[in-house]
Amino acid sequence: MSENIENVQCLIIGSGPAGYTAAIYAARADLKPVVYEGLQPGGQLTTTTEVENFPGYPEGTQGPEMMEDMKKQAIRFDADVRFGMITEVDFSERPFKVKADDGKTIVAETVIIATGATAKWMGLESESEFNGYGVSACATCDGFFYKGKDVAVVGGGDTAAEESTYLAKLCNKVYLIHRRDELRASKAMQKKVFNTKNIEILWDHTTKEITGKTEGFSKAVTGAVLTNVKTGEEKEIKVEGFFVAIGHTPSTDLFKDYLDLDENGYIITKDNSTQTNIEGVYACGDVQDHVFRQAVTAAGTGCMAAIEAERFLSH
């Protein structure tokens, strides 16, 4: 049994821009971090094709390539990056005991959580088929590609309202598709939507199918078939971009017995810090950020978490 116990100074749970940046900084601080990448090494960015808003890539880059670069950089400084998952945590006392799916028990002096969040999808086959080829869950990331074009946003909360008004500045027309006859968004956000001339709200509609064309390896969205929930009538809209804005789910189930979470399940961290309610446990990236959700902000908090872990260990 004892040979399956491993003592580490810094354990990083999760990857993506937050986890890999934390690994780079922790490794350079000689914390010899061990990283368990999780089910989706590289996180949400591996499902994104073009990334054009991350500083330092003047021609843009591909999401999976960028994550591979970050991972290589962490490994170069001797971070121990492992494919696998953490299945159980015990934060009741330090050092923290954590179990991995490879059968190991990790005893860690500090833990950095970078498990991210996943976008909620509608669950349509056509949605996954065109994901990254016109279907997106992030207007800030991908809106630029649809400058002067017609797009659709599905949802009725603050996220959908924000995405719609953001896209309205870039696009010719924005259809906001909502299954109810009133928005759930805050009154201020609703006002913005109603006052934006090129947003058309399609009340009482759900999406039956996203339509598109496939030529060889290239795919493109051409429109969507909608159903009126009250009349059952179908209508088709012509759009080149389709944005799903029905929320995100943070990957925090593993930690809920120990860490303070907000009403949506995001880890609560102290102001201007990545420190959780447990000393020596830090959270960075989309698992604690439901506001910005960008690769560059995730990387920034990954850096903060590693610096905070290093300072904590040196006291």
- Rounded CA-CA distance 217/244 in Å is 23
Of 304, 243, 251, 256, whose CA–CA distance to 22 is shortest? Answer: 304
* CB atoms closer than 10 angstroms to residue 68: 15
Catalytic residue numbers read 138, 141-142
DSSP collapsed to 3 states, 40-55: CCCHHHHHCCEECCCC
User: How far, in Å, are 67, 73, 167, 172 from residue 29 at the CA level?
Assistant: 21, 14, 41, 49
Work out the angle between the directed axes of helices 16-28 and 63-76 (0-180°, nearest 10).
20
- For residue 241, how many C-alpha atoms fall within 13 Å in the half-sphere facing its CB? 29
* CB atoms closer than 10 angstroms to residue 88: 11
Residue recorded with tokens 């903060």: 304
DSSP category for residue 266: P
